[in-house]
Structure formats: C-alpha cells, structure tokens
Chain A
Amino acid sequence: MSDNLLKVRGLKIGATVYPPGEKPHDIKIVHGVDCDLEKGKVLGLIGESGAGKSTIGLATMAYGRGGVELTGGEVWVNDRDILASAQGDIRSLRGGEVTYVSQSAAASFNPAKQIMEQVTEAAIGHGKFSKKEAEERAVTLFRKLGLPDPENIGKRYPHQVSGGQLQRCMTALALCPEPDLVVFDEPTTALDVTTQIDVLAAIKEAIRDTGVAALYITHDLAVVAQVSDDIMVLRHGNTVEYGTTDQIINAPQEEYTQALVSVRSIEHEEKQPTPEPLLTVQNITARYKGTKFDVLHDVTVDLHPGQTLAVVGESGSGKSTLARVITGLLPPRDGTINFAGRMLSKDLGNRTKEDLRELQMIYQMADVAMNPRQTVGTIIGRPLEFYFGLKGAEKRKRVIELLDEIEMGSEFIDRYPAELSGGQKQRVCIARALAAKPKLIICDEVTSALDPLVADGILKLLLQLQKIEDVAYLFITHDLATVKAIADSIAVMYQGKVQRYGSKSHVLTPPFDDYTDLLLSSVPEMKLGWLEDVIANRKMESAGN
C-alpha cells in the first residue's frame, strides 16, 4: 500500500488531568482509531467537542498538546512510523511533510512580523526552497487562494488584513513548504458565514491544485461534506462510522450519524401577527460611550406576544447592541422602546422592577452567565426570591418545578455550574429566565457555543416552553439554520441597519436584496456539490472580503 500517505493503526491517546481537590489521574481521550489517507485525498474528521478529533489531527505530527500523551498504536506517514521516530526525524516532519492550519489565524500569526516572512519561514527553514523561490511560491499560493493584490499582500502585517484573508494566508503558510499532508483544524469555524464560504472554496481549490492530502477537522457536517472524499465520525474518542462522503451524507448507517445528518430539521409553523405588538422598537440610533460612530441606525422592529423575532447578521452588524439597547444597558441616542403597552425608560436605572422582571435575557456563554460559586438552586431561586418573595420550602418546590420544565431533575439543585455539561448550563440559564415569569426573553446567540445535537435540544426546549408559558423571544443569531427553525418574523441586519424585515415567509421568499441573498446562500447545506453551486450563482462578494 505505497500510495497510502497516512496510515493510522490502533491509535490510543491519553492525558493526565488535575481536577481541583482530587488526585491527578490519567484519562483516555482516543481509544484505538484506524484510518487511511491516499495522496491527494481529503479525509474529514467530524464530531462534537471532546470527540478527540483535534487530538488525532495533531497526532499525525507526533504531537500531543499540553500534557497529552500518545500512549499506543502506530501512525505511518510516508511509510515510516512517526511515533517511533527520533526527534530529528520529527523535526523534519513537522512543518515540512505535515503542516497545520489552526482555527484562529489571528492568534497564530506573530503580529510583529510581516505575513510573507511568516508564510515562507518553514519552507526556508526546512531547506526546501531559497528565500526567492519561497516568496515566488507564496505569491502563487496567494493568487490561487484568491487574496487581493497577491504580489504585495505579503508585505502587510497580520492586523492589516481581514479575518477571512488571514485564514487564507495561513493556508498559504501551510502549503508553502510543499507538504504531503495538511491538517486543517476547524479553519472556518471562527469566520462569518459569508466569509466561511470563500475560505472554504479557496481551500478546496488549493488542495485540488497542489495535489496535497488533507485532514479536515470540523464539527459541522455540512462543511466537511463540501471538501472531503471520506468522512470519519468520531464520538468520545471512538470511531462511530467511517466511509465515503456520499455514503455518510446520503446513507448513514449508525444512529449517531443519522442524528448529525438530520440536525436542524425542526419544523415550526409561522404564527400570524397579533393586533397589539408586545415590543415596539422605533427609530433607535445608538453609539458606544466615547465613540463617534453609530452602531445602530434608525432601527425599527416589532415583536408580537408569544412569538419569535429573529435578528440575524454577521459579527459587527449591531445585533447584540440592539439587545443591549432594549435591556437598557446602553441608552440609545434617539428613538423609543414600547413594551407591554408602556414606554420603557432608556436607562436601566430608571426602569421599574416590573419592567425588569418581564424582560429577561439568556446569554451565549452559559459558562460565564452563572456565578461559579452559586449552586443551581441559588441561581434559579434568586429571581423567585427577588421578584416574588418566595422563601424556603416554597422556593425549593418552584425551583424543582422549573428544573422539571427544562428536563433536568431535582438532583441538580445542589450542583455547581462546573459540574454541568454545556447543554445543561444553558438549560439552567433558561430556567433562571423563566423563573421571573417574563413576557419577553432576549436570547443572545444561545446555541452558538454548543455542539449541533445539543443546540438542537435547546431549540426544541425553547419552542416547547414558548407554547407552555406564552413567552416571546427576541432571538439574536448569526446562524440562519436556527432562524429558519424557530422564527415567526425576521430582521436581517447589516452594518447597523435593518436590511430586510418581515414575517419569516416574506423574508425568506425571493426576490431578495443582494445582502440577504448572500447571507441565505452562504449557509452550508448537507448536500454534495452545494459549494460549487453557490459560488457560481451569487450576486455579491462576501462582506469580509
């Protein structure tokens, strides 16, 4: 099998963990994984966080991150077992034969050096090219990756290019030494959806043109379907399913893979607007203290009782600022907010307790939205005590009811946030918001930090709670799939303005304006060949380009 570039056999990876207050002990991260990769092919590794996919990716460079140890098995690259190799061999392997593209290019580039110097460093250092040759090759790669002004972009510093461009520069960095294998570790996860698609297309083309083999690691099955030939589904360090992309997407065998493929298939019937909106935001213009730049311009939206308004946009579009204005954290310069038939004070300090109670918020990072030194019982119980004066057994009874509502049991009442999983933490935050019996909950990217299946569960829970409690949601997200699943009306935001606004069916039905078209078409779909179709048919360059 000499055309097999990468051969992994029974790879076992472990680590020593240091939990507070306990003895350090060893855990196993990967329990014997096998895979093969031929020259010029792409293998996608997919799984939720903790599945071991990044760890396996780094193992192909004989590297274990921070205390991680490669405890068993074999990793053959170019017919030699790199786990048994000497340090010197590994040195020539890393950055020479195998290179790596990380999730955050911004954190990986040295801000004090020009891009060209960093892109060519490995190629020159490994003695593959002279400085001149390496620079020529870099310019060719820049051009291939669709970077603007390829001759001169190398002279810029990392902060002088956009996030999407920097990610492509990093791909050029990885391809520059003519490696045999490139490990892409979530290269598009940190990018906006319209930028992701450009980077994805550039990566795919560069892989095809240079004939390099690649490991593509991501949690998003729709993304990996666009670039890989084979897919390996991982969970808790085990292989769940391993097959061709076509087979995994169209005929998944395992239950877990089927769940991943059918994620976000939530059906939600759009509700008709009521005569009286619950929340009316009118002509809001806002800027942050000490700046001279309006983050929101003349924003006007309505939200009806018991319904969901999704505010969609990319980072910097002003959607989170809108939430801060509505909650009173950022008093607007202009405009009014009407809520439940009364005018809300612009400033949080002047709002009544009733105003505060009826308007609750759920955050993106459940981790930092809960005080780590309070138990679940205290966290959920505090609004009950604060707004309704519940105490003792009465309060405890209501907390347990709320825990039941979010599908967790009373056994969680004395746990601390650190003892909960990501999804459970977000559920507790939902219960805390519900405890106040609000009329409106602002959900700020509540599913973005969660694995797809867990996020799905949270969305289903939110929809179900809406039916029971008749609460309205203002749902802020960059993820259009989420919007399609749960919204009744949609506001598309772009550069601080509402670009398109109306009922879900109206906003998602053509004709679109150019930006909405770009945004809608950029959401990866679980189907082969989607990427090529989109690139061929779109009307507007991505915003991050």
Chain B
Amino acid sequence: MRIPPAALIGLFFTALYFLMAIFAPLIAPYGMAEVVSNDIWLPPSSEFLLGTDNLGRDLLSRMIYGGRTTIFIATAATLISFTTGSILGFFAAVVGDWVDQALSRFVDLIMSIPSLILALVILSVTPITVGVLIVIMGFLDATRVFRLARAVAVDINVMDYVEAAKLRGEGRGWIIFREILPNALSPLVAEMGLRFIFMVLFISTLSFLGLGVQPPAADWGGIVKENAEGITYGIGAALYPAIAISTLAISVNLVADWVLNRTTSLKGGRG
C-alpha cells in the first residue's frame, strides 16, 4: 500500500501530538503549573525552549500538558458522540416510523441552536469539570453523527440482504450490528477524524471564553487566553498554542481525507 505524501505528513504530526499527550509527564521539562521564573513572557532560551508565560511558568511544559488535556477531552467526547450518535442513527433508520420522526425532529431542534451558544448556556448552570465538558460536547456533537449514521443506514436498510435478514426473522440487534454496522463503518471512520477536529476547536473555544478547562490546568485554548494580552506588547506566546491547534487540525484532516479516499476506491472509484 502506497501512502500519499500529504497523508504521511498528516500521520506524522498526528502521531507526534498523540505521543506527546500520552507521555507528557516524561517529556515536559518542568511541572504543569510550576512557576519557574520571576520574569513573565521571557523569550525562548536554552533554559526555557519556548520562553515563559504570563505567570512565569515554562511555556513548553504547559503546551505539552495542555495538549494532553485538549486531546484527551476531544478524544473522549468524539467517542461518546460516535457511540450514541451512530447507535441512535442506525436505530432510527431500522425502526423508522414515529421513532425515526421523534429522534430526527429532536436532533433538528438541537441543531437549530448554534452548539457553542447552547454549550455556554448549559455550562453557565452546571459545574465545570472535565467530565461535564466531555459529556456536553459529546452529546451536542452526537446530533451530527446521528444525521450521518441515519443517512448511511437508510441506504443500507433497503438493500436486499437486510430485507433477507428481516424475512429470516432476525432481531434489530443483529440487523444493526451485523448487517448495517460493518457496511457503514468506512464513511463513519472518515467522519470521525473530522468530528475530532471540531472537538479540538470546540474545547479550545470554550477554554478561550473561560468556560472550558479551568486554571491552573492547562489546555491549548486556555493558554491562548492567558497569553492573549501579550500580543499587544509584541509577545508571541499566544501563537504557539494557536499553531498547535491548527497543525493538529490540518494533519488529522489530511489523514481523514486519505481514509475517505481509500474507502471510496473500495467502492470502485479511483482513489
């Protein structure tokens, strides 16, 4: 199998960020919230590779720990949104009738409200912990996954092999997990990459607005917020997390594109 260069670049950076997230305590030169200098916003030096932040903490260490938080929350939320979204989507497609109507209209209702605003409203009345953040983000994003999963499953549901299974007397569990899921997996996996990026952007936005990860815990959106003021003084500390967010988004996108291409070529296209 030949991997195109764009996908290779994507794979490299994605792997790099994930490894950094997993092994953060081993890699980071200092502690996450450890104040290492009396000077704030020190320029990069051999001691502090990316300089220090607005409270005199090592920026590189905060970046590494921040990546760990951001990637962990995004991954967990993506998993939640995928399991609930796709199972409900398949269920709606297979059962049809009023179940489908009820679920679909409910999802329309949620989707008609911009998810950021809805998230801000919910977070303003709930305690802000990582667990709550993951559940809220996962739940809001599940509506999008529901849409896709339902659309794919509706197409598969009318195939003769599904009809054959129904005529055999198979239950819904078999039809959803054995007949539909294996055939819906490729488009869903490709979509998963894109949803993950949205999750990264979503949690970063929330943190930037102050309703995401709470200090002193670090995450990329929060680091941008903490150091945003420095931009006025020509200090680039806020740019590093911004660059990290965008490179992660782009590289995951490149991988997702490649996966999607490969799956379409399985269906007879020329990817």
Is B121 interfacial (CB 8 A cutoff)?
A: no
A356-B161 in contact (CB<8A): no
Q: A472 CA to B231 CA in the complex, in Å?
A: 82
Identify which of residues 212-271 in chain B touch chain A, using a CB-to-CB cut-off of 8 Å.
Answer: 265-266, 270
Residues of B within 8 A of A18 (CB): 265, 270
Q: How far is the CB of A348 from chain B (nearest CB, A)?
A: 7
Identify which of residues 351-373 in chain A touch chain B, using a CB-to-CB cut-off of 8 Å.
Answer: 351, 353, 356-357, 360-361, 363, 365, 368-373
B161-A329 in contact (CB<8A): no
Identify which of residues 1-53 in chain A touch chain B, using a CB-to-CB cut-off of 8 Å.
Answer: 18, 20-21
A369-B167 in contact (CB<8A): no
Is B179 interfacial (CB 8 A cutoff)?
A: yes
B168-A383 in contact (CB<8A): yes
Is A478 interfacial (CB 8 A cutoff)?
A: no
Q: Give the A interface residue count (CB, 8 A).
A: 28
A356-B270 in contact (CB<8A): no
A371-B182 in contact (CB<8A): yes
Is B164 interfacial (CB 8 A cutoff)?
A: yes
Contacts known (A18-B265, A20-B265, A20-B266); A368 close to B159, Cβ less than 8 A:
yes
A356-B266 in contact (CB<8A): no
Residues of B within 8 A of A365 (CB): 160
Residues of A within 8 A of B160 (CB): 363, 365, 368-369
Is B170 interfacial (CB 8 A cutoff)?
A: yes
Identify which of residues 159-189 in chain B touch chain A, using a CB-to-CB cut-off of 8 Å.
Answer: 159-161, 163-164, 166-170, 178-179, 182-183
Q: How far is the CB of A321 from chain B (nearest CB, A)?
A: 14
Is B1 interfacial (CB 8 A cutoff)?
A: yes
Q: How far is the CB of B188 from chain A (nearest CB, A)?
A: 14
Residues of B within 8 A of A360 (CB): 167
Residues of A within 8 A of B159 (CB): 368
**Chain B, Cβ-Cβ closest to A432:** B164
Residues of B within 8 A of A372 (CB): 183
Q: Give the B interface residue count (CB, 8 A).
A: 18
A329-B1 in contact (CB<8A): no
Q: Give the residue among A18, A351, A369, A371 with the most B Cβ atoms within 10 A.
A: A371
Q: Give the residue among A351, A369, A383, A432 with the most B Cβ atoms within 10 A.
A: A369
**Chain A, Cβ-Cβ closest to B270:** A18
Q: Which of A371, A432, A436 contacts B183 (CB 8 A)?
A: A371
Is A497 interfacial (CB 8 A cutoff)?
A: no
Is A382 interfacial (CB 8 A cutoff)?
A: yes
Q: A371 CA to B168 CA in the complex, in Å?
A: 14
Is A512 interfacial (CB 8 A cutoff)?
A: no
**Chain A, Cβ-Cβ closest to B163:** A329
Q: How far is the CB of B183 from chain A (nearest CB, A)?
A: 6
**Chain B, Cβ-Cβ closest to A23:** B2
Residues of A within 8 A of B163 (CB): 329
B169-A386 in contact (CB<8A): yes
Contacts known (A356-B168, A386-B168); A371 close to B265, Cβ less than 8 A:
no
Residues of B within 8 A of A329 (CB): 163, 166-167
Is A327 interfacial (CB 8 A cutoff)?
A: yes
Q: A369 CA to B162 CA in the complex, in Å?
A: 8
Q: A378 CA to B159 CA in the complex, in Å?
A: 18
Residues of A within 8 A of B166 (CB): 329, 348
Seen from chain A, the residues whose Cβ lies within 8 Å of a Cβ on chain B are 18, 20-21, 67, 327-329, 348, 351, 353, 356-357, 360-361, 363, 365, 368-374, 382-383, 386, 432, 436
Extra contacts, 8 of them, besides A373-B182, A373-B183, A436-B168 (Cβ < 8 A), are A18-B265, A18-B270, A329-B167, A357-B169, A369-B160, A370-B161, A371-B178, A386-B168
